[in-house]
A and B are shown apart, each in its own frame.
Chain A
Amino acid sequence: MTLNLFYFLSFLAIFSALLVVFSKNPIYSVLYLIITFFAIAGHYILLNAQFLAVVHVIVYAGAIMVLFLYVIMLLNLNTEDEPHKSNLLKFAATICSGLLLVVFVGSLKGTEMIVQNTTGTGTIGLVKNLGKVLFTDFLLPFEIASVLLLAAMVGAVMLGKSEKTLISKKP
């Protein structure tokens, strides 16, 4: 039952990830990417990381993808006549990623031998445990992440401002 669910979610994730790359219209790419993110959230639930699944849906599907959709609609990019690379470059790109996949296959070939001692009780992904770890072992990175988000916000506002207002502010 769990294995069937795993196969279904994996198929959904890979299929819609391929459609992200190959669909003509950017809007469809965004929508397929949202499907991929939901499938990955399903994987998190299968791995007993419930809180992370919820945060994943909220942050990725709720915030980041809405930002993408907003930018695409703002720039009027929902057309299908965007330029494509030449066939030679597409072929080279496919060969390159295929070679990368070969490298992954080579490096992951022996992993089915791993002895798995799953003694966990499945409560590791609950918010209680995660909060305890986050605020004791990872307190400094947590604070630095807040500074990073502030810097990103300032940078986005700075970049998003139109050039004219920037020039007129100068003395």
Chain B
Amino acid sequence: MIPIDYYLWLSAVLFTIGVLGVLYRRNAIIIFMCIELMLNAVNLVMVAFSAYLNDASGQVFVFFIMAVAAAEVSVGLAILMMMYRNTRTTDINVLNRLKW
């Protein structure tokens, strides 16, 4: 089998790309997608450890993460629709009233 540290490196890189996307872009939809990317990086580590330790609990955790991600996306996109209806944009710099 492939050594487990390869998977650790891969998911570290994927998580970093997700963080980069959240910090880099202003479009709220892209930010959501980068959050999904980070969740997937964590899922990959969980599956890798579950396979290498021969324990199914890690894969069950991945199911729960998927359920939470689905809930998060549905509510988040509904909030995004509402934001677009009020401001006609998905730029996060418009919503700066909670800053400071």
Contacts and interface: CB of A to CB of B under 8 A. Distances in A.
Interface size class of A (residues with CB under 8 A): 35 or more
Nearest to A108: B8
A88 interface: no
A82 B26 CA distance: 9
B26 A84 contact: yes
Contacts of B27: 26, 77, 82
B34 A116 contact: no
**Chain A contact surface mostly:** helix
Contacts of A54: none
Contacts of A20: 17, 21, 30, 33-34, 37
A52 B59 contact: yes
A130 B59 contact: yes
Interface string A24-35: 001001100100
Contact of B71 (A84, A94, A125, A148): A148
Interface in B1-39: 1-10, 12-21, 23-27, 29-30, 32-34, 36-37
A151 B67 CA distance: 12
A49 B50 contact: yes
B62 to A, nearest CB: 6
B52 to A, nearest CB: 6
12 contacts: A17-B14, A33-B36, A48-B51, A60-B66, A64-B36, A75-B81, A75-B90, A77-B27, A108-B12, A112-B3, A120-B52, A162-B85
Interface of B: 1-10, 12-21, 23-27, 29-30, 32-34, 36-37, 40, 43-44, 47-48, 50-52, 54-57, 59-60, 62-64, 66-75, 77-82, 84-85, 90-91, 93
